[in-house]
Chain A
């Protein structure tokens, strides 16, 4: 009995250690999204300039949909990457759209005045569009294919490598969903 206990006790610890290692190695900021491959939630919102913009209008382009806020420090860090994105890809191929998350128009505008702005921004009253997208916090970025389906999602600040990999693959591949006539 004593001989058996000697190896059974450590053996019983194995599943617990395995679970602990799994839990500690996991990125707590990563949440799998069920939206990959699905049609992107539709939205029709007002831009910071007061014009109307909808996702449907952007059909045919790859859309980089970036949820951000002026109070969000990592958003400040990724802003340069978005400037680079808008500069690199022609606007009739790739459209960057910022969705302002839980912020006032004034603060959002001031942020853009400071850091530069060459793309479109819409405001999202009551963060309804963010909730439609299953957003946990900012920044989060969705890459929408030409047919209006979500190709990829990135949580946290963007890097140029992430943008390039996702945009290039969406530009190269046919849309996941057929364009609505």
Chain B
């Protein structure tokens, strides 16, 4: 019972956090007269614009890209991408514009520069060292022949051996 309560409490805690003061664009009341937003149904993103929108994080719906989101701000960002492509800007320049306004946060996939490099390097390093460690361990285990002559179970310290004997004895 208490565990159920704990889990419920933690779930509440996690969901309550984003409900703080600021109001995202999506929670707005329907306007009585047309708002100043671009008509999003008018244009469909073409390949290149979609490619860029897919790399950008939607500011009000963390976890979704600007391409996937139907929020007003994401629709406007798509329009910005289209306009800038139309003016001849490259993908790099457009991404740079959004990073300049929102920071690196706006890029969904961390860029491989600076501290971000750790994200790309650490897994390989962990894999190489972990793999090497495993190989040496397994070699060691397979080379050590079980030594039962002196009545001690192989590979265990005296303490552990003692504990194991007691455990078996009890079982």
Instruction: Looking at the assembled complex, report how far the CB atom of B163 sits from the nearest CB atom of chain A, in whole angstroms.
Output: 7
Contact A24 B24 (CB under 8 A): no
User: Which residues between 60 and 116 of chain B lie within 8 Å of chain A, taking CB atoms?
Assistant: 60, 72-73, 76-77, 79-80, 99-103, 105-106
Does B149 have its Cβ within 8 Å of any Cβ on chain A? no
* B127, CB-defined interface residue at 8 Å: no
Closest to B77 in A: A131
Residues of B within 8 A of A137 (CB): 22-25, 59-60
The yes or no answer to B152 lying at the interface (CB within 8 A) is: no
Which residues of chain B are near A103, meaning CB under 8 Å? Answer: 31, 35-36
On whether the beta carbons of B159 and A3 are closer than 8 Å, the reply is yes
Q: Which residues of A contact B22 (CB under 8 A)?
A: 29, 74, 136-140, 155-156
Interface residues on A, range: 35 or more
Expressed in whole angstroms, the minimum distance between the Cβ of A124 and any Cβ of chain B is 7
* Complex contact B20–A126 (CB within 8 A): no
**Shortest distance from the beta carbon of B7 to any chain A beta carbon, whole Å:** 15
* Residue B160 CB within 8 A of the other chain: yes
A1 touches B103 (CB 8 A): no
Contact, CB under 8 Å: A127 / B160:
no
> B156 at interface (Cβ–Cβ under 8 A)?
yes
Per the CB 8 Å criterion, the residue count for chain B at the interface is 40
Q: How far is the CA of A106 from the CA of B33 in the complex (A)?
A: 8
Inter-chain contact A31/B105, CB cutoff 8 Å = yes
* Residue of B whose beta carbon sits closest to that of A101: B25
Task: Say whether A72 faces chain B, with CB atoms less than 8 Å apart.
Answer: yes
In the complex, the chain B residue whose C-beta lies closest to that of A103 is B35
- Assess the B36–A125 pair: CB atoms within 8 A: yes
Contacts of A28 in B (CB 8 A): 17-18, 20
CB-based nearest A residue for B101: A134
B residues within 8 Å of A by Cβ?
A: 13-14, 17-18, 20-25, 28-29, 31-38, 59-60, 72-73, 76-77, 79-80, 99-103, 105-106, 156-157, 159-160, 163
Excluding A127-B73, A137-B60, 18 further A-B contacts by CB distance (< 8 Å) are A3-B159, A31-B102, A34-B100, A34-B103, A41-B101, A71-B29, A71-B31, A72-B23, A102-B36, A104-B34, A107-B31, A107-B32, A124-B36, A126-B76, A130-B73, A131-B77, A132-B101, A133-B101
15 A/B residue pairs, CB under 8 Å, sorted by A: A1-B157, A3-B157, A28-B20, A71-B29, A106-B33, A123-B36, A124-B36, A126-B36, A128-B76, A130-B73, A131-B80, A134-B59, A134-B101, A137-B24, A156-B20
